[in-house]
Chain A
Amino acid sequence: MSPANIVSLAKNRGLDIIGITDHNSTKQCELVWKLGQKLGLTVIPGCEMTSREEVHCLGLFEDFEALRVFQDYLDQHLTIIPNDPILFGHQVVIDEDENILEELDNYLGASLDVSVEEVEQKVHELSGIFIPAHIDRPRNSLFSQLGFFPPELRVDALQISKLADEMNIREKYRISPDITIVKFSDTHFPADLGKIYTNFEMEKPSFNEIRMALHGENGRKVKIP
């Protein structure tokens, strides 16, 4: 899952847009974005956050200034548990030539000390897109951790896992028809990349177009194939 491998696999498998959302870190996004630029692949920088309730959720950002501010927020709120490389592997940040630039000491699978609403508010304050991840999973999902949709949470979409059926999920969790549901591959290994995707119908692959599509605005829309 090196940055160069990610962009070339994404391109070869016919994707136009990918999101980079490491657990509780944004530090590899810029390099993937840069490599994507060379291949004409749109890379949206972001993160998969773990709230204090252990709800996993995605934050996507328009530019690297917002991303940098969000990284500071992560650094400030990540529970400090030293990473054990034997158990969890090395958490490295690499450069274009795959030299190790930095090894992250705190375990990135830990949770942040803020609620899911607080994380959402931070993402929106930075004009980002907020999507609770794999909401149908029996753990680390909005519904497993919190039982039902928190009344004050504002989402741009909800992500379901690869085998889930959109209509079943809508019925099971009584999800409003106004809320868009998307499917992403949640790729952790090269083999998964591009297996699951969502089609976005829009003018061009830009962040604002993506936001409009998620909200079904101006004729833009998304469709799970």
Chain B
Amino acid sequence: MKVSEVVEKLGLTVFSGQKGLDREISGGYISDLLSDVMGNAREGEIWITLQVHQNVMAIASLKDLAAVILVNDLKPMENTVKHSDDENIPLLGTSLSTFEIAGKLYQAINA
């Protein structure tokens, strides 16, 4: 499944990184500790977090993640948006909590 399909199915906001919307999603990962994501997220996963710091995009790029979803209506910091565009990794948003969006994402990917 492509990132663009998930955006549509889950009604996500696209903040930036539009050029990466046709990336393929292999699964999902959830963590707010960036050190943990560095160690444990796998290539192609979509990462759900409440961290809005620019390091999020650097780690998404390092791990070659498909996209990042920010929860609880959180807005990314300015340089986070810039990095997302530079790396062509979509930065997405939802008003839902981590729990709710994770449930929907799991269903969408495994449908």
- Contact pattern, A 131-158, Cβ under 8 Å of B = 1, otherwise 0: 0000000110001111110111000000
Contact B34 A145 (CB under 8 A): yes
Contact B77 A115 (CB under 8 A): yes
Closest to B34 in A: A147
Contacts of A151 in B (CB 8 A): 54
Closest to A55 in B: B53
Contacts of B10 in A (CB 8 A): none
Contacts of B79 in A (CB 8 A): 152
Contact A145 B58 (CB under 8 A): no
- Taking the closest CB of chain A, its distance from the CB of B100, in whole angstroms, is 22
Contact B33 A148 (CB under 8 A): no
The contact size tier of chain B is 10 to 19
DSSP majority for the B interface? helix
Contacts of B77 in A (CB 8 A): 115
Tell me whether A62 is interfacial, beta carbon within 8 Å.
no
The contact size tier of chain A is 10 to 19
Contact A139 B53 (CB under 8 A): no
Contact B54 A147 (CB under 8 A): no
Contact B33 A144 (CB under 8 A): yes
In the complex the two chains form, what is the Cα distance from A147 to B38 in whole Å? 7
- Taking the closest CB of chain B, its distance from the CB of A21, in whole angstroms, is 23
Tell me whether A209 is interfacial, beta carbon within 8 Å.
no
Closest to A147 in B: B34
29 residue pairs of the A-B complex, CB under 8 angstroms, read A53-B51, A53-B53, A115-B77, A116-B53, A139-B33, A144-B34, A144-B35, A145-B33, A145-B34, A145-B35, A145-B51, A146-B34, A146-B35, A146-B53, A147-B34, A147-B35, A147-B37, A147-B38, A147-B55, A147-B58, A147-B59, A148-B38, A148-B55, A148-B58, A148-B59, A150-B54, A150-B55, A151-B54, A152-B79
Q: Which residues of A contact B (CB under 8 A)?
A: 52-53, 115-116, 138-139, 143-148, 150-152
Known: A146-B34, A147-B55, A147-B59. 16 other contacts (CB 8 A): A52-B52, A115-B52, A139-B33, A144-B35, A145-B33, A145-B35, A145-B51, A146-B35, A146-B53, A146-B55, A147-B35, A147-B37, A148-B34, A148-B38, A150-B55, A151-B54
- A-B CB proximity, top 3 nearest: A147-B34, A146-B55, A147-B38
